[in-house]
Each structure stands twice: as C-alpha cells, then as structure tokens.
Structure 1
Amino acid sequence: MSGRPRRRGFGYIRRLSSGRYQASYLGPDLVRRPGPQTFLTKGDAEAWLSRRREQIAAGEWVAPAKPAPKASALTFDTYAEQWMRERGIKPRTREGYAYLLRQYLRPFFGDMVLDDISPSTVRTWWAQLPPDKPAVRARSYSLLKAIMNTALADEILDHNPCRIRGAANTPRARDVRPASLNELDAIVAAMPTRHRALVLLCAWCALRAGEVLELRRGDVDVAAGTIRIVRAVSWLKGGPVVGTPKSAAGTRVVSVPPHVVPALQHHLDAMTGEGPGALLFPGRDGVGHLQPSTLHRGWRHAREAAGRPDLRLHDLRHTGATMAARAGATLAELQQRLGHSSVNAALRYQHAAQGRDREIAAALSAMARADRLPTG
C-alpha cells in the first residue's frame, strides 16, 4: 500500500506509487534522514536502515553531508530539454516534438518545477488548447505524458499528473476511399513518365513515399521480383535526411506483383542511372533526391485526371493494403508486407508472411487481370 509511512522499531519505510520503497530515520541530531535513493524491495530498505542503526549503536554515525538540491527542483523546461537530447527518435519526429514544445508546452509549463505540476494544472492547460485543432491537442498531451512518464521512471516524480481520459487519442481526420483499378490506371497514365513506376510501387507494393524515394538500383532484384526496404528519406527544413524505415518492422523485403515487374524493368533500363547506388526516382539533376513539391505537382494533375481530387499520395498505401487483403493476405501477412506495427507486433508478425508473400503478389496480379477482362 502506497502513501503512509509505516512506523517500525527503527526508522520508517514507505512504499511509493511506483512500487519502490523509501526509507528514513531520525538521527542522533533529531533530524530526519531519508535514504539517498529509493529501493527496489522492502528488504533492501530494511537492510539500509539496519546499517544506520548499527552505526548509531557503535558510535560510528556521522551526519551526512548536506544533500545536493532535490532533483524535483528541476523545471519543466530544463527536464524537457534533457528528455529531447537523450531520446532516440527520428529527425522528423524530433522536429515535430520541438514544434509542440515550443508552441504548446513551454509557454505554459516552462518555468514550473516538475513537482508542482498537478493533475489540475494539466487540466487547466488542456482546457486552453485550441479546440479547432484536435490532432495538435492529442499529440501535445501525448508528448507531455511521455515526458512525465520518464520523470516518473527517473524517480523525480512519484506520480504522473496526466490523467485526462482519452486526451491522447488522435481523432480520425478522414475516411480513406481506396483507388479503384480503373482510377489507378488513369493516375499512372497521367503521371510524368519518369514517375509512373513510383505510383505502381506505392500502390501495388503498399510502400511509403519516403521508402520509394530512397530506393536505389541495388535494392531491386527483378529476377526474384522483390524490393528490399532498408532506408527511407524525409524532408526537414527543405533538405533530405536519409535514415532507417519508420519502425523496426519497416525493414523488410516486399514481393512485387508479376504484372508490375515489366514496368519496373523498363524504368530501370530507361530512367535509372548505372551502379547499385543510383536512385530509382532522382530529382531533375539525376543525382539528388526528388523534391516532394515536384512530385506532388504531377500527382495533383494525375488525381484530377482520374476524378479523385481527394486522393493523397499516401492513400496509395491504403489502396495497396486493401488490395492485398482482397487477395487473401492474413492480418499477420499484411503487417509484414506493409512494415507497419508496434514493436511487439513487429516481433509477432515480422516473419509471418515470408513464405506467402510471393503468393500474395501473384494473387494481386491475377486480380488485376480478372478485373480488366471484358464482360458481356
């Protein structure tokens, strides 16, 4: 039971809400002396108190040096800066967190001591966030809760003040309607020639745009009909940053549907530079990464031509997942093919589809042919 310290023969032991134990005793100078740290078990706390009692009984006790300022005197600003510095996060995520801290967290919590931030303080802050930005509210709350959870793990706090039920749930902004096969054909035909294979890979292989834009000749095995996803590119402040895929499960080998392979081979032969490091979809200079603004100009024209002005480039990934499900992929196989899962899900699903991924790709091509057969 946490909260109230329990009186013993010598000293006090208190179980914290974190599950650890805090010990203290009255020294010969009648000053209460807490332990230098909390303890994992009650037995550890009792052992520490026993040693102090033995020192006092033997006349060997010496008043401890004046303790350093309590860690709980840390301000939110100072701790958040440390949290960001020590956090192993991707550059794009780091940039997003920095924006949320700058715009929504630091103006309110910046100078507050962590220990002084209570559940009512968090509710007051939450109430003044812009109601017309539900996604920003949810992400800001999630970031605050994550920082406070780390402070709890660091034993700076003994509770997390973020207790607003459902506040971290990001509302679904829109329902995605997958592109039909005819719409997809129209989009591919309307795209610039050098970007048509990009649309095919985003859709039929359900790849992320950042994964496709970092594909290089050495990642493609046309004979095996596979693409190896080991990197992704993101754009920060106008410049490309190459890193690993979005999650651990994002590193994967994806089978290309057989009906897409000829278009991929043509692209490699006619529009890709020599050498394994050549980008499949470079910028106009033929070397650097394709600018998202350049890609999206062609994309906006193509989706209008197909009668789908609502379709985002990222929605092709949703289209690909839907088609794979129609082809008979199980949930585990979809998770592996898309490389989209939590850490636990990655461990569960990562190898599930290796044996069937080629069959799924072949079924996708069969579906494409069947849907295009003339009727009547």
Structure 2
Amino acid sequence: MTTKTKRGFGRVRQLPPTKGARSGRWHAFYNDPYGAVRLSASGKPTPVRHNGPHTFDTKLDAESWLLDERRLISNGTWTPPAERKLARKRATESGVLKFGPYADEWLANRKVKGRPLAGRTRDEYRRLLDNHIFPTFGDLPLTAISTPMIDNWYQVTAKRTPTQRARAYGLLRTILGTAVERDLITTSNPAKVRGGGTSTRRHKVEPVNNEELAMMVTVMPERRRLMLPVAAWCALRFGELTELRRKDIDLDRKVIKVQRGVTRVKDTSDLPPDSRLCGCRPSCVIGPPKTEAGVRDVPIPPHLIQDLRDHLDIHTQPGADGLLFAAKTGNHLNAKPFYGAATTFHTKGPKKGEVKRSGYGWHEARRLAGRPMLHFHDLRHTGLTNAAIAGATLAELMALAGHTTPTAAIRYQHAVADRMQDLAARMSVLAGYPAETNPPT
C-alpha cells in the first residue's frame, strides 16, 4: 500500500514494493506553482504535476527536494524541473560550461591517490548533487556562482539534517576548488562558509561491553554468531567481514588477512578494474577495501582462536575460497550476501502473536541486549576503542583499522582520556600511597 504524506507545498509518498525491486523509496511531486493545467483523456482539466528527478532513499531527502523547489519559486528563479534537465544537457552542447555538466564530469573522472572513487562514495556524491546542489547551482555557469549565493544556499539547505548539509557543502567546495585549480574559475573559491563542512555527530557511539556482546552473540543464529566478536575485537568493517574466505584465516600466525570487501552500489557502469560484480545481486560489488591501507593483516586475539577453528570446521564452505560466513547455499558468486533484509542476519524479532524462538538476527539481538539503536559499525568502534585502552599507539590504531590518515584514528583515542582518573590513581600507587587513598595535602 502506498503511503502518502500531505504537506503545505507538494507531497511525498512511499512507493509500494514491486516484484524484483526494493520497497521503501520515496517519490516527491508538486502541482505547477502558476496553476498550469492539462486536459485528461476525458477532457477534464487537471493540474500539471512536476515530479522529482528520481525516487529518494528517505522521506527527508524527498522533503529536502521540495524545499529546494519552493525556494526557487520564492526567489523568482523557478523553471520546470524537466526544462532544467534539458537546459543542462544543451549547456554542454553550446559550449557554456555550467556547474551541472561540469560536476557530472568531475564525478565521473574523480580519483583519490590515483584510485577511482569507491562505489558507495560515488553513489553518495551523486545523491548529494541531485538532492541538494543541482536544484540551485546546476544550471548556473561556473563563473556566475558567488560567495553570497553559496551563503544563502547554506542557510536554507537541509536545515533538519545538518550532517547532510555539511557533506553537500564539502562536496560543492571541493568541486569548485578543482575548477579554480584548472583556471575555469579565475577568482578564489567562492565557497567560504566557515565551518560549513563540519557538523556534530547525531549518533553518539557508545562501545558495547562484554556482557552486552555476550547477550547478542547468544541470540544470533549459530552460523552468524562469530561475526559479532570478530567485528568487535578485530575492528573489521561489515563489507570486509562478509567477504572473508577460508584462505584469509591464518590460525598459525593468528592473523586475518583483509584483502577484499563487499559493497552495495547503485551505479555499476564505471567499476575499478580490480572489482567485479557478484552474481548474487547486480549491485553487489567485490573489490579491494575502502582504502589502500585497508589491505592488512589483523591480529586475532587469543580468546577467539578456538571459536574460529570450530567455525571453520562446522560452518565455513569447503575449499580455499569458501566463505567464512556463508549463506545457506552457494557463495558470493551464486547466492545472496548479507545485505538483503530477508537474510537471517538482519531478521527482526517475532511479530505480534508469534511464538518467540532463538536464532533471530541482528535487530533482535541488539534489542535484547538493551542497545536497540546500536549500529553494526559500532562494533568496529568498540574494537578500536579497546585497542586504545590496551595501550595501542596512534600508528598501531591506524594499522589495525586500515586508516590512511591519523585524523580518522584519533577519534578512538578518546577512550584513553576517559581513563585519566584511573591513571592518576595508579600514579599515586607508584608514589607509595595505597590504592583508593588520596595522599595527604
């Protein structure tokens, strides 16, 4: 059943599931602001409707597009979305370099340290461009974009989602910066919003403790249980974890060799040469890890060795290429990975009136552990936090996590600051005072 939401301007609706398609995407539309009508087949006049350029991942994305359209109408710069799309196409042919075509070319050719953008990153950039940037700047010549225009855009864009606004601004600033470097813009970069590319993290990450982890492990299906402690103690990303194969587990050296990862992308037209599509889902791509440093040997804590050995004997597919965490049948070449909502990993708890049983998936496991808002990626955060508490240096954290810059690893060293009082108490012991006793003043 289609879910509609009525608004003061335009409407958004959630599309129903269709055969072979993922449900839950959102469609946005509005009637012509100047009252244009068309005649239906029966001769009845009906308002002209303007639809979004595509369906949106979330309701907020659809509403943000409507807000951008409303702003264009208020500013007196509105033209029908279909005409803007056609004008963008004609701009390329006319020789007038406008932001939209230039940004499309920038995205297609963008490389980081000589490597093409990862599929998920490219998808995210495309979403930010289509939803937040193109409605305002897509049809403008590069040289016409000014600092006041960007300041005004920043003030009204994605106000309810500051993280999305910061990411959109950061992308806009980077694209314009490239244009400056190539002398396509002869002035300085017009994107000058101080602190515009930063935002406060809305999801506060709280590492799981041993009791919570143990509870979640007992609830998971038996062949999925080891995913949680390996993620929490070896700090692996979900895509790295689900692509692990028998040949990647070296119990003699006590290391996990991270060499590949699985990601789900929308655009598979321009994959890196060292990536390949997985037969289980057209948008599931197997390729190198997120960064060059992602190819690494991760040490296995001794308390996981026996669990890994048992899992290899019972649940791992045969052969060197057998998946460590396999689906019921097949492998990544001919069966689903764990991204689909129908897999046992993501299975939710029992429905109303249904008899409870063990073996529900991640959602039920985190609920029973008292952490219903826990993200799976928070287990990786837990592993890196525990490594910092155990005394890992910044370089060791970077090697463990597969980070290329210290900035990403520094966030996990906050755990050390949280133990400053414990450090002070141990210093008192070194000074000759009993533990838990303050020295005399």
TM over 0.5: yes
Query: Which residue is equivalent to 1:98?
Result: 126
The separation in 2 between residues aligned to 1:227 and 1:273, in whole angstroms, is 17
Q: Report if aligned partners of 1:208, 1:314 keep a CA contact under 8 Å in 2.
A: yes
Match of 1:174 among 203, 212, 215: 203
Q: Report if aligned partners of 2:265, 2:285 keep a CA contact under 8 Å in 1.
A: yes
Query: Which residue is equivalent to 2:249?
Result: 220
Query: Which residue is equivalent to 1:116?
Result: 144
Query: Which residue is equivalent to 2:236?
Result: 207
Query: Which residue is equivalent to 1:244?
Result: 288
Local SS of the residue matching 1:260: helix
Q: Report if aligned partners of 1:73, 1:115 keep a CA contact under 8 Å in 2.
A: no
Q: Deviations over 1:152-204 (max 9, x none)?
A: 11111122110000010032112211111111111111111011111111001
- 2:322 matches 1:278: yes
Q: Deviations over 1:222-253 (max 9, x none)?
A: 11111011111111246311122111221110
Q: Report if aligned partners of 1:226, 1:254 keep a CA contact under 8 Å in 2.
A: yes
Query: Which residue is equivalent to 2:422?
Result: none
Unaligned runs of 5+ in 1: 1-68, 350-376
- 2:102 matches 1:79: yes
Aligned ranges for residues 43-82 of structure 1 at < 5 Å?
73-82=96-105
Q: Report if aligned partners of 2:317, 2:326 keep a CA contact under 8 Å in 1.
A: no
Query: Which residue is equivalent to 1:137?
Result: 165
Q: Which range is displaced more, 322-331 or 153-162?
A: 322-331
Query: Which residue is equivalent to 2:337?
Result: 290
Query: Which residue is equivalent to 1:258?
Result: 302
Aligned ranges for residues 184-203 of structure 1 at < 5 Å?
184-203=213-232
Q: CA deviation at 1:345?
A: 7.2
Q: CA deviation at 1:218?
A: 1.1
Q: Report if aligned partners of 1:232, 1:242 keep a CA contact under 8 Å in 2.
A: yes
Q: Report if aligned partners of 1:217, 1:268 keep a CA contact under 8 Å in 2.
A: yes
- 2:382 matches 1:337: no
Local SS of the residue matching 1:228: strand
Q: Report if aligned partners of 2:242, 2:338 keep a CA contact under 8 Å in 1.
A: no
Q: Report if aligned partners of 1:183, 1:306 keep a CA contact under 8 Å in 2.
A: yes
Q: Report if aligned partners of 1:272, 1:281 keep a CA contact under 8 Å in 2.
A: yes
Local SS of the residue matching 1:273: coil
Query: Which residue is equivalent to 1:127?
Result: 155
Aligned ranges for residues 299-318 of structure 1 at < 5 Å?
299-318=362-381
The separation in 2 between residues aligned to 1:261 and 1:101, in whole angstroms, is 46
**1:216 partner letter:** R
Q: Deviations over 1:7-53 (max 9, x none)?
A: xxxxxxxxxxxxxxxxxxxxxxxxxxxxxxxxxxxxxxxxxxxxxxx
**2:382 partner letter:** T
Aligned ranges for residues 33-52 of structure 1 at < 5 Å?
none
The separation in 2 between residues aligned to 1:85 and 1:324, in whole angstroms, is 38
**1:243 partner letter:** G
Unaligned runs of 5+ in 2: 1-91, 111-115, 267-280, 348-360, 411-441
Query: Which residue is equivalent to 1:362?
Result: none
Normalised TM-score (structure 2) = 0.60
Q: CA deviation at 1:305?
A: 2.1
Q: CA deviation at 1:121?
A: 1.3
Local SS of the residue matching 1:98: helix
Query: Which residue is equivalent to 1:325?
Result: 388
The separation in 1 between residues aligned to 2:151 and 2:384, in whole angstroms, is 39
Query: Which residue is equivalent to 1:25?
Result: none
Local SS of the residue matching 1:322: helix
The separation in 1 between residues aligned to 2:241 and 2:104, in whole angstroms, is 34
Q: Report if aligned partners of 2:208, 2:382 keep a CA contact under 8 Å in 1.
A: yes
Query: Which residue is equivalent to 2:42?
Result: none
Q: CA deviation at 1:130?
A: 2.3
The separation in 2 between residues aligned to 1:72 and 1:124, in whole angstroms, is 28
Local SS of the residue matching 1:302: helix
Q: Report if aligned partners of 2:245, 2:324 keep a CA contact under 8 Å in 1.
A: yes
**1:198 partner letter:** M
**1:108 partner letter:** T
Q: Which range is displaced more, 141-150 or 169-178?
A: 169-178
Query: Which residue is equivalent to 1:161?
Result: 190
The separation in 2 between residues aligned to 1:281 and 1:327, in whole angstroms, is 28
The separation in 2 between residues aligned to 1:284 and 1:290, in whole angstroms, is 10
**2:170 partner letter:** S
Higher helix share: 1
Aligned length: 278
